[in-house]
């Protein structure tokens, strides 16, 4: 493999075809990237496609334009700005890390970023290389796919991908190199139908030479989602329902309709427990909503309930997509259009 020629080909392609218009790639007056914008974008994009992520990024940066603004905000306001992005632990960790940086300053090295709450090797490498020019190679799904095809490795291990990325990293332009590899994977070396004719690395690509580039890498074996049955109740209207604060690592800090896991029991038993806790009377069955998050597939039956519980404007609290679906179900039945 002619590494010098490989770097020249990819960086030349990136200069002409890279996604320079992305808002997190804007440089400051000094010609450098804002590490805060880079950091928020990299955290956001780990589980979000760029088209949708761009909208979320601009909304979040409008609410919290600086790390100081984020640090001073209440957690609920942070979660509200993050609403719809999913993986809310990331928003909580952003908030915690911002508070550390407000006290101690913004790190300028890989090790400094890695020490922050919620920052792993990928994010630390991305911020330190893109904002500070440190020679750290990133490893994400796009990088894994590009390198797997470049060398025709069907089942690349994390150690192999990281080692190969480290070896190919251009030490003179680490940030540009990282973005070039990621852009190539996102726009040309795509999962199912790679655009090999437009690839600047096609002459060196072993997967293309094999005649089956889409064979690499082999799909990862993923654990089946755990099936969860639950019941929820709507007291009030979809626009002003009674809401409870969620707890735990998955949806902690968000708000939502009162909900009870059926466990190994029946839906009726779960509804009785929920109604007893809230001191309400189930009035009618409104319907069923399904939702998948992380490794859980939820089937939630929504009931309307009668009881003297205080309502809250639905658009005033950070809600999960599951709760938005439940409120939309009730609204579509004509209970009342929601306020959001």
Number of residues that make up the chain: 340
Q: Which residues contact 163 (CB under 8 A, 6 or more apart)?
A: none
What is the spatial distance between Cα 132 and Cα 86, in angstroms, rounded to a whole number? 29
Reference 264, options 214, 220, 304, 227; nearest CA is 227
Cα 104 to chain centroid distance, Å, stands at 27
Reference 127, options 38, 8, 29, 24; nearest CA is 38
Q: Which residues contact 103 (CB under 8 A, 6 or more apart)?
A: none
Longest dimension (CA), the chain: 73
Reference 283, options 258, 306, 308, 266; nearest CA is 306
42 in catalytic set? yes
Distances in whole angstroms, Cα of residue 80 to Cα of each of 41, 69, 85, 101, 314: 17, 15, 10, 22, 11
**Among 29, 42, 134, 176, the one annotated catalytic:** 42
| DSSP string over 53-74 | HHHHHHHHHHH--SHHHHHHS-
| DSSP string over 165-181 | HHHH--TTSHHHHHHHH
Residues labelled catalytic: 42
């Amino acid at each position: 493999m002619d590494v010098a020629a490989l770097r020249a080909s990819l960086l030349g392609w990136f200069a002409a075809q890279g996604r320079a218009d992305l808002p997190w790639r804007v440089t400051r007056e000094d010609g450098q990237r804002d590490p805060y914008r880079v950091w928020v974008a990299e955290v956001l994009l780990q589980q979000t496609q760029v088209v949708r992520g761009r909208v979320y990024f601009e909304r979040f940066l409008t609410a919290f334009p600086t790390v100081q603004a984020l640090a001073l905000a209440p957690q609920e306001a942070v979660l509200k700005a993050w609403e719809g992005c999913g993986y809310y632990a990331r928003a909580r960790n952003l908030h915690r890390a911002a508070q550390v940086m407000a006290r101690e300053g913004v790190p300028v090295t890989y090790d400094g970023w890695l020490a922050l709450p919620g920052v792993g090797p990928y994010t630390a490498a991305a911020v330190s290389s893109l904002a500070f020019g440190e020679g750290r190679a990133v490893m994400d799904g796009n990088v894994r796919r590009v390198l797997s095809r470049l060398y025709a490795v069907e089942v690349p291990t994390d150690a192999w991908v990281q080692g190969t990325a480290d070896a190919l990293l251009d030490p003179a332009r680490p940030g540009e190199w990282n973005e070039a590899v990621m852009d190539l994977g996102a726009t040309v070396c795509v999962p199912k139908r790679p655009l090999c004719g437009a690839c600047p690395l096609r002459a060196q690509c072993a997967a293309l030479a094999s005649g089956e580039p889409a064979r690499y890498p082999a799909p990862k074996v993923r654990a089946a989602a755990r099936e969860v049955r639950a019941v929820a109740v709507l007291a009030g209207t979809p626009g002003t329902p009674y809401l409870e604060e969620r707890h735990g690592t998955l949806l902690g800090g968000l708000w939502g309709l009162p909900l009870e896991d059926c466990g190994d029991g029946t839906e009726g038993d779960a509804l009785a427990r929920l109604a007893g806790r809230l001191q309400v009377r189930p009035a009618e069955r409104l319907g069923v909503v399904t939702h998948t998050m992380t490794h859980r597939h939820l089937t939630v039956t929504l009931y309307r309930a009668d009881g003297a519980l205080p309502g809250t404007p639905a658009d005033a609290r950070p809600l999960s997509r599951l709760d938005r679906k439940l409120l939309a179900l009730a609204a579509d039945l004509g209970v009342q259009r929601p306020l959001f």
